[in-house]
């Protein structure tokens, strides 16, 4: 298809990701354009840039240490926004909705209603997602090297939790099938990102929602950058040392909540090497991508963008996964250490203040008869 027509007035849209398909940039654009979109009859339902708590709650993917009551309240707010009467087109975007099982999809559609509900799935080549998802795992305490992780995820047996989670998100034909089974294939829209045109995704959403051009694409939207090889290795080694010390996973979650922004703010030097996906993994991912593209076509869902591109990543020319760097750049290590100090400071600032010690009772107020005993106890 060339370009989409606007969805009907009153349409409700769930953008379900999956992860690493331009979701952060799109959510950032929606957040920045919230007022301009509302003036054009489009309401963005996340109160912040991305209300992940709501999606995590409904998919049973709560972060350790987070308040489930607040997460449930966030989801109820999304449901209320989607089900409220009115001609506005409404949008909720969260890549965590790609984690929903068939039963959870049924629950979500049951709560918000299937009438006037559209689901948008955004795609990019699987081979380009691999390194990004590996890095995401590092941010959740993974200790695998990139080579070990690739061989685990791309193996014939993917029954272990980590590859099973990956394929639940990134077997894109199965993702589209899960949602189309509950809303209908004609209501599941697949948008394939164009690596040569970073405005293709926001422009497509503008067309779907009847927004004027550049409402979303014209925003200075934030994108998540990838870690360099040195940055990824520092984090991997830190995860190993953290686990070896027997420190608690809940504390890691709280620590990383503050550290992750520091990770994204650093500007790598021009000579810092990225993580490289070897040719064997690219070829395997391309073959899986071709099978997914064929299955998506068979579903009969509307597709915008080049579906064949999800299986057309060029090999890197590297036959084997490069070994993790033996020595880490001192600047990267110092930057990471400073981030830990910053995270610790913020955690302390958020902790309940300890009550100040009680001031000693002035001796002048102590009766003469009890003064000797009081001084003795103080001594």
- How many CB atoms neighbour CB 208 within 10 A? 24
309 & 183 share domain:
yes
pTM: 0.87
User: How many folded domains does the chain comprise?
Assistant: 2
Compute CA distances 204 → 6, 81, 120, whole Å: 10, 23, 11
Same domain, yes or no, for 31 and 121?
yes
196 within 8 A of 305, measured Cβ to Cβ: no
**For every one of its 379 residues, what pLDDT tens digit does the chain have, with 9 covering 90 and above?**
578 999 999 999 999 999 999 999 999 999 999 999 999 999 999 999 999 999 999 999 987 777 899 999 999 999 999 999 999 999 999 999 999 999 999 999 999 999 999 999 999 999 999 999 999 999 999 999 999 999 999 998 888 888 999 999 999 999 999 999 999 999 999 999 999 999 999 999 999 999 999 999 999 987 788 899 999 999 999 999 999 999 888 888 888 888 887 877 888 888 888 999 999 999 999 999 999 999 999 999 999 999 999 999 999 899 888 788 888 888 888 988 888 988 888 888 877 654 454 554 444 444 444 434 443 444 3
Cα–Cα distance measured from residue 231 to residue 240, given in angstroms and rounded to the nearest whole number:
15
Report yes or no on 339 lying in a domain: yes
Read off the CATH number of the domain in which 287 is found: 3.40.50.300
| Same-domain pairing of 219 and 261 | no
Residue 171 CA to residue 177 CA, distance in Å, equals 10
3-state secondary structure of 79: helix
Domain that holds residue 256: 227-274+323-353
């Amino acid at each position: 298809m060339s370009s989409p027509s606007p969805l009907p007035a009153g349409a409700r849209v769930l953008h379900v990701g999956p992860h690493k398909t331009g979701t952060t940039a799109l959510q950032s654009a929606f957040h920045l354009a919230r007022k301009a979109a509302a003036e054009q009859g489009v309401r963005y339902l996340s109160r912040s840039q991305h209300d992940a708590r709501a999606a995590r709650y409904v998919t049973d993917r709560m972060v350790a240490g987070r308040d489930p009551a607040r997460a449930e309240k966030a989801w109820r707010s999304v449901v209320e926004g989607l089900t409220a009467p009115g001609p506005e087109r409404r949008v909720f975007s969260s890549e965590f909705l790609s984690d929903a099982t068939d039963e959870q999809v049924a629950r979500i559609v049951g709560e918000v209603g299937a009438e006037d509900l559209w689901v948008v799935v955004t795609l990019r080549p699987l081979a380009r997602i691999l390194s990004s998802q590996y890095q995401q795992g590092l941010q959740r305490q993974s200790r695998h090297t990139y080579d070990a992780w690739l061989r685990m995820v791309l193996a014939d047996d993917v029954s272990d939790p980590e590859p099973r989670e990956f394929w639940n998100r990134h077997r894109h034909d199965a993702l589209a099938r899960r949602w189309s089974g509950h809303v209908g294939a004609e209501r599941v829209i697949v948008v394939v990102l164009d690596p040569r045109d970073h405005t293709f995704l926001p422009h497509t959403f503008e067309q779907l929602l009847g927004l004027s051009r550049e409402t979303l694409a014209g925003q200075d939207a934030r994108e998540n950058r990838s870690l360099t090889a040195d940055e990824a290795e520092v984090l991997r080694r830190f995860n190993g040392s953290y686990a070896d010390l027997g420190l608690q996973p809940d504390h890691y979650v709280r620590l990383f909540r503050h550290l992750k922004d520091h990770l994204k703010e650093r500007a790598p030097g021009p000579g810092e090497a990225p993580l490289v996906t070897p040719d064997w993994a690219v070829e395997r991912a391309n073959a899986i991508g071709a099978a997914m593209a064929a299955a998506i076509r068979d579903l009969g869902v509307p597709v915008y963008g080049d579906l064949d591109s999800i299986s057309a990543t060029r090999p890197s020319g590297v036959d084997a996964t490069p070994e993790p760097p033996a020595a880490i750049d001192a600047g990267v290590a110092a930057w990471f250490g400073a981030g830990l100090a910053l995270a610790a400071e913020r955690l302390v600032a958020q902790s309940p203040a300890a009550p100040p010690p009680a001031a000693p009772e002035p001796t002048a107020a102590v009766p003469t008869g009890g003064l000797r005993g009081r001084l003795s106890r103080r001594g």
